[in-house]
Chains A and B, each alone.
Chain A
Amino acid sequence: AQSVTQLDSQVPVFEEAPVELRCNYSSSVSVYLFWYVQYPNQGLQLLLKYLSGSTLVKGINGFEAEFNKSQTSFHLRKPSVHISDTAEYFCAVSDTNAGGTSYGKLTFGQGTILTVHP
Chain B
Amino acid sequence: DADVTQTPRNRITKTGKRIMLECSQTKGHDRMYWYRQDPGLGLRLIYYSFDVKDINKGEISDGYSVSRQAQAKFSLSLESAIPNQTALYFCATGAGGSTGELFFGEGSRLTVL
Contact = CB atoms under 8 A, between A and B. Distances in A.
Interface of A: 4, 6, 9, 32, 34, 36, 42-46, 49, 51, 90, 94, 96, 101-111
A26 B45 CA distance: 18
SS of A interface (majority): strand
Interface stretch (B14-22, B69-77, B99-107): B99-107
A101 B92 CA distance: 19
Contacts of A9: 40
Given A49-B101, A111-B40, A42 B106 contact: yes
Interface string B27-51: 0000101010000111111001010
A51 B105 contact: no
Interface string B74-109: 000000000000000010101011111111111100
A38 to B, nearest CB: 8
Contact of B31 (A104, A108, A110): A104
A27 B104 CA distance: 24
Contacts of A46: 101, 103
Contacts of B44: 108
A90 B99 contact: no
Contact of A32 (B42, B58, B99): B99
B40 A102 contact: no
A43 B106 contact: yes
Contacts of A51: 99
Given A42-B106, A43-B105, A101 B97 contact: yes
Nearest to A9: B40
B79 to A, nearest CB: 24
A51 B101 CA distance: 10
A9 B104 CA distance: 22
B101 A110 contact: no
A66 to B, nearest CB: 18
A49 B45 CA distance: 20
A58 B96 CA distance: 24
Nearest to A112: B42
A102 B98 contact: yes
A36 B50 CA distance: 22
Given A110-B40, A111-B40, A32 B100 contact: yes
